[in-house]
Amino acid sequence: MISGISAAGTSAASAETKAAAIVVDANTGKTLYSSNPDAQRFPASLTKMMTLYMLFDAMAAGKVSKSTPIPVSAYAAGQPPTKVGFRPGQTISAEAAILSLITKSANDSATAIGEYLGGSEQRFAVMMTNKARQLGMRNTQFRNANGLPDPQQRSSARDLALLGIALREHFPQYYDYFSTRSFTYNGRRIVGHNRLLGKVRGVDGIKTGYTRASGFNLVSSVNVDGKKLVAVVMGGTSGGARDAQMAQLIDKYLPSASRRDGGNLIASRRNSKVEVAAVDLPDTAPVPVPARREEVATTQAAEVVTAYADPKPVPSVAARVLQVPAPQPKAEIGEGDVSEVDPVTTASAPSAGGWMVQIASVGSSEEAKAMLAKAAAQVGGPIASLSPYTEKFQKGAQTYHRARFAGITNAKAANNACAALKRQNFNCFAIAPQS
C-alpha cells in the first residue's frame, strides 16, 4: 500500500539529547506520536532486528533451515558480553541462534550469523544497509551485526519502526520468536531482557538495546483486539525509565489505533534472496579477538557493552553507505610473508582460492579495503557473496596492495563479476586459479 510510514507529528531533533520516540499504527502506517523520529541515534542491540531479518530472509528462501549449524569463529567467540560463550569452532543451530539474539541479545551469536550469511561481518553490514534502503530506512547505516559501539552505525526511531513492521509483515511464520521470554540451551535456562512481555497487555516483542552512547532503547510490538502498534523509545536514562515510557505510550495511543488492516505497509522485498557464503572453518590460526575498551554493566538491562565517547557527526547517508572501515585489530603477518590475509574476512569465511577478480593495485591495504567495500556497496548482485581479499606485493622498493574479490567458482562467474563491476565504472580483470 505504501512504502514508508507517514511523517505526521514529527518534531525537530535536538543535538543535546539521545532521546527519540515514535508510535505507529501498524495497520495503517499512521504516526500517532513522535519526538525526534528522524534524528540519527545509536541503535545498540536494536541492530539485531536487522540481523534477524536477514536470517529470516535466508530461511524463507530455503537457504537456511532451523537446524542449520552456524559455525562460530574465533572472532565471533571473542565478542564482548552479553554472549552465549562459545569456543572457536563450535556451532549453534539457526533456531538457537535466533532465540539467543531475542532473549540474551547474544553478541557472539549475532556475529556468527553475520559471518555465515555474508562471509565476513563487514560484507554482512553492507548487505544489512542495502536491505535497509530497500525497506525505506533512509537514516540507517550498519557497520556490524550485533550493535556493539561503532561511531558510524546509526539509525532512527522511524526507521526502526519500519523494520519492526517489516519483520511482522514479511515473516509471519517466524514472528512468534519475538515473544520468547526464555529458552534452554545446553541445559542452561536463558532469560530474556524484555520486561514488558507478559506485563503490558498485547506486547508481543520485539527487542531491547543499550550502550553508554545510545542510552536505553526498546522497540515494542502490540496487538490487542485487532489494533496493532509498533513503538520505539531510544535514549532512555535507565531500563526502568525506558520501560515506563513505553508502557505509557502504549496506554495512551492504543485506543486511537485502527482495527482496519490496511494491507502490507512496507514495500515488497526487492532482490530479497540471500546468498549464503561457504562456511568451512579454515585450519589456519584463528582471527585475533578484537581489542576491548572499558566494559559497562547495567542491572536494569543486564547487558554489558563496550563503552565509547560520543562521536563527531557522521556524513550524509549517501556518503556513509560507501565508507565501510575494516575492523581492528589486524592479523599479524610473519616476517618474510608476501601476502596479507584480509582481516575483514573473518575465520568463518572462505579463504582466497579459485578464480578471483582484481579491481585495483594501490599503495596501502586501507585504500584497497576501502575500494572493495565501495565496490560491494555499489555493485551488489554478482559480487555480494564473494570474499574481499587484499594481497601485498613488492615491486622494486615500492610496496603495493592488490584489491581482489575471491571465492569465484569458474571463469564464467569471474567474467560476470567483472562485467558487473565495469558497469559501475570499476576497473576489473579475472585471475585464473594457480595450479
Any residues with CB less than 8 A from the CB of 292 and at least 6 apart, and which?
Answer: 80, 306
Per DSSP, the three-state class of 220 is strand
Nine-digit cell at 149?
A: 559501539
CA–CA separation, 192 vs 203, rounded Å?
14
- Residue 105 is a catalytic residue: yes
Nine-digit cell at 386?
A: 564473494
CA–CA separation, 361 vs 398, rounded Å?
12
Given 35, 45, 221, 365, the catalytic residue: 45
Q: Is 66 annotated as a binding residue?
A: no
Partners of residue 84 on adjacent β-strands: none
The alpha carbon of residue 354 and the mean position of all alpha carbons in its chain are separated, in whole angstroms, by 28
CA–CA separation, 55 vs 274, rounded Å?
9
Cα→Cα distances 241→37, 217, 222, 357, Å: 19, 10, 19, 52
Any residues with CB less than 8 A from the CB of 187 and at least 6 apart, and which?
Answer: none
DSSP 332-369: P--TT------TTS-TTSPPS-BEEEEEEEES-HHHHH
Per DSSP, the three-state class of 172 is coil
CA–CA separation, 351 vs 299, rounded Å?
41
- Residue 45 is a catalytic residue: yes
Q: Are 160 and 46 in contact (CB under 8 A)?
A: yes
The alpha carbon of residue 190 and the mean position of all alpha carbons in its chain are separated, in whole angstroms, by 23
Q: Are 417 and 386 in contact (CB under 8 A)?
A: yes
Radius of gyration of the chain (CA): 22
Given 48, 83, 104, 227, the catalytic residue: 48
Strand bridging mode 91-93 / 69-71: antiparallel
CA–CA separation, 242 vs 378, rounded Å?
38
Residue type, 23: V
- Residue 73 is a catalytic residue: no
Q: Which residue has the cell 561457504?
A: 278
**Which residues carry a binding-site annotation for substrate?**
207
- Enumerate the known binding-site residues: 207
* Residues annotated catalytic, as ranges: 45, 48, 105
